[in-house]
Structure 1
Amino acid sequence: MKHDKIERNLGILLVFTMLAISAGGMVEIIPLFFIKETVEKVEGVRPYTPLEQRGRDIYTREGCYLCHSQMIRPFRDEALRYGHYSLAAESKYDHPFQWGSKRTGPDLARVGGKYSNDWHTQHLIAPRSLVPQSVMPNYPWLASTELKYDDIQDRMKALRRVGVPYSNSQVEYERNVKEFGETVAKQLHIPDAEKNLVAQAQLGNYDTDPSNISEMDALVAYLQVLGTMVDFKKYDDDYFVKFR
């Protein structure tokens, strides 16, 4: 009878349902915060530079994630097409991460270095000029829109608050030197963010137009770093043995 009363009373049923969901969620999630091996430590993974981070912001702003996942599954056909399956550690500095199950276009987890800057720029401006069967929209305004980066320090500080190891003091900078090396640590130092962003954009010339720093510069810089941080030669041999 008590069970029948609970099912007939919407308020009580809702309360008990929420309690059950909360208890189940805590049992599954809380232990992960105390297991050191939840995210494996992988050599080479680092936070994004200021320019790459702005490119990632543009990537999410334009909804690129709706058609392109960044998650290679541990299946033979995926490994043969894209490379080594995605590691959790590769996304530990991503907020939000770009894993997903929807692909209208190819997975982009390993796209970095696969094509030239010129190719990416032309592909974003007019996809069908390079891939006739593409259904991707054109993004010509990225090349003509000046990149806004006067708030890059605030963006990095926000990410720092959720665990991304950008440095804002000498102590944190020295920590990053030990963790990532001096060259990378300089890129992760918040007080020098604008200077570092401009320097990387001018040196990389990602949009093939050195006269300005555009949103195209930032987006291509982000695409070119995807999948390049980890040396997968250390993993591939053991991985592909499974499929022989």
Structure 2
Amino acid sequence: MKKAEILDLIAQIKGGKISDEKVVEYFANYPFSDIGCAKVDMQRELRSGVGEVIYGEGKRPEAILAIARECVKNGNNVLITRTNSQVAEILQKDFPLAKFNEVGRTISIIINEPKLTESYIGIISAGTSDSYAVEEAYETAKFLGNDVRKITDVGVAGINRLFLKLDEIQKAKVLIVIAGMEGALPSVIAGLVKAPVIAVPTSVGYGASFGGVAALLGMLNSCANGISVVNIDNGYGAAYNASIINHL
């Protein structure tokens, strides 16, 4: 239930416009809705401001569809991460407006269009190989109601590309900086801006990158101020935290 629904229910109870049985029905699924394959948290938006997001990897398409149906039935937008085209095809039969981002592996179903922030989140990536994390972060940030600007392929191997976008970068309220290899780009950015930088190491690089561990350690050991680091390839987590900052 959303806050507005609870206030409306209280008003109906006070006014004698609703029966005791109906009140019991309202709370029958509190605090979650058990649909067999999952227990869908129906109170999360009330607690944290954002409804449940579906992590798609490892879930059967039928289970994802059932969870999405339950969320939409309760008036919630739906975001599915780490998913695929098979799931998208199944969901689009029920939800024709479901948007599949093939690169970011996300599906978004928007029932209530969010109002975008006046300030914006900047998403900066080192190379084209980091696009999957960029798109996951972008779709998440947009889903959460943020204005978002993407600045891609501006890594340290051609640092001159970065400076052409410096004005736009410096005006962002918060920055998500994505890089693999040695993970140097967040340190460079953090030395040029006032905004907080959320660094995302990616599993991009040759053997000694150890699937993103080298970039992760490089970012954790950065001497630049204002950097926080999320897990390897975690564009979703970076965007969620950036959204909290951007909405302050």
With normalisation by structure 2, the TM-score equals 0.26
Higher helix share: 1
- The structure that is strand-richer by fraction is 2
Structure with the larger RCO, 1 or 2 (CA within 8 Å, 6+ apart): 1
Return the TM-score normalized by structure 1: 0.26
